[in-house]
Amino acid sequence: MFDNASDELFSGFWPIMRRFLFAFLPLWIFLIAYSADINVIISAILAGASVSLVAIYEKKKILSENSKQNDGNKVIK
């Protein structure tokens, strides 16, 4: 079985939160941009770009968690 490091983010709540964010974050961004009288096409582009922010945040959080765990492992190899 493969070990997924993202399962341990936010005490195991991240997989549920990630699915929720992937589903609703673009909708929220689109509705906020649309209600601010931004063009529909630009609102859709902003909403689509917001999905990549979740993946980027997850990657940065995993890297920071790994660096915290590896601080004690400063053995010369």
pLDDT category of residue 1 using cuts at 50, 70 and 90: very low
Ranges of each domain in the chain: 28-64
Per the structure block, which two tokens stand in for 6?
Answer: 């993202």
pLDDT per position as a tens digit, 23-77: 899 999 999 999 999 999 999 999 999 988 888 888 888 788 777 766 666 666 5
* This prediction's pTM: 0.63
pLDDT category of residue 6 using cuts at 50, 70 and 90: low
Count of residues in the chain = 77
Dihedral angle over CA of 7, 10, 15, 19, nearest 10: -160
Average pLDDT over every residue of 3-15: 66
Helix count and strand count (H, E) for the chain: 2, 0
